Amino acid sequence: MNSEITGLTEWLDTPPGAYLLAWERSLFDLAVSDIFGYHALQLGFPELDALQANRMPHKWVALDAFEKQTLPLPSKSRPNNRTGPESISSPRAALYADSAALPFPESSLDLVVLPHTLELGIDPHSTLREVARVLVPDGRVVISGFNPASLWGLRQQRGHFYQRFGYEGLFLPDAGEYIGYWRLRDWLRLLDFEVESAQFGCYRPALKSQHWLDRFNWMDRAGKRWWPIFGAVYFLVAVKRVRGMRLLEPDWKTRKSPVSAPAIVASRKPAGWVKISD
């Protein structure tokens, strides 16, 4: 969870950053609102309150222990458009922790959200293993990440190529390696996670102008229909499965009524006695 997210906060204040943040906020709100339990954790990316719509009584946001981040205030270019009770962000306790060694016991959290945490971290494998450790059986992890197989991903790769010649042509924040969607699914499968739902979004081209982004808003509708896996961002919900476990039913449901055994009646007649009629 390295928040050496070079220029991430500034990038979120740009038109494409605001476009991505609005899409992810709606997806996180929809995904976590119906996940119940007692303890939820957000790892990294404090610019987005991914647990705002969740109703669990205990929620934390874990920040990098070495960067000493602070929870950012809303930017003028990122206004909170919510009204009424939802406009007040749900309380979150901030703690500093290493994502590869979380200060939580095994099987103690019901929900963990990872908004761009894996791709912006130092060791995404260790982070996922730690998430699997602290989640309860049937607990959920919600993950979002940049899709390298998209127009934004191709623009970023081209920017890295131009950097070799001294040009600064990066479109996305320069932090970590972006993880492909199918690669992430393989990692989750190895840790006994089952992907419950997944979708892609942000199909507009890699443009920095709000005017041109608005002109290509039709691509969001067309992308969902014609090239759904090439969105700039992917979003998935996975469930932790534990092999060999089954839910125990109440005792009164499983208890069987005793079967009455045949009664033995004593007889004065000797064994094998047969009455012969006249």
Question: Where are the domains positioned within the chain?
Answer: 8-244
Class at the top of the CATH hierarchy for domain 8-244: alpha beta
Over residues 54-107, the pLDDT tens digits come to 999 999 999 876 554 444 444 444 555 443 333 334 456 778 888 889 999 999
At residue 177 the predicted structure's pLDDT band, cuts being 50, 70 and 90, is: confident
Taking residues 140-164, what's their average pLDDT?
Answer: 85
- The single-letter code of the amino acid at 22 is A
At residue 153 the predicted structure's pLDDT band, cuts being 50, 70 and 90, is: confident
Dist. CA 230–CA 151, nearest whole Å: 8
Percent of the chain with pLDDT strictly greater than 70: 71
Q: Which of 38-52, 68-82, 151-165, 209-223 is the least confident region? A: 68-82
Over residues 116-149, the pLDDT tens digits come to 999 888 889 999 999 999 999 999 999 999 999 9
At residue 278 the predicted structure's pLDDT band, cuts being 50, 70 and 90, is: low
pTM: 0.77
**Is 100:123 a contact under the CB 8 Å cutoff?**
yes
Mean pLDDT of the chain, nearest integer = 80
pLDDT confidence of residue 212: 92
The b/e string for 76-88 (b: 16+ C-beta within 10 A; e otherwise) is eebeeeeeeeeee
More confident residue, 3 or 76: 76
Dist. CA 227–CA 206, nearest whole Å: 16
- Judge residue 174's burial from the number of C-beta atoms within 10 Å of its C-beta, 0-12 exposed, 13-18 middle, 19 or more buried: middle
Residue 273 pLDDT > 90, yes or no?
Answer: no
Over residues 190-231, the pLDDT tens digits come to 999 999 999 999 999 999 999 999 999 999 999 889 999 999
pLDDT confidence of residue 128: 95
Q: In the chain, which residue ranges form alpha helices assigned H by DSSP?
A: 8-12, 15-32, 124-134, 151-163, 181-190, 210-215, 218-226, 251-254
Taking residues 24-53, what's their average pLDDT?
Answer: 93
Pairing state of beta strands 135-146 and 233-240?
antiparallel
Of the candidates 41, 13, 40, 9, which has an alpha carbon nearest to the alpha carbon of residue 175?
A: 9
Q: Which residues contact 92 (CB under 8 A, 6 or more apart)?
A: 42, 49, 51, 59, 60, 61, 71
More confident residue, 90 or 181: 181
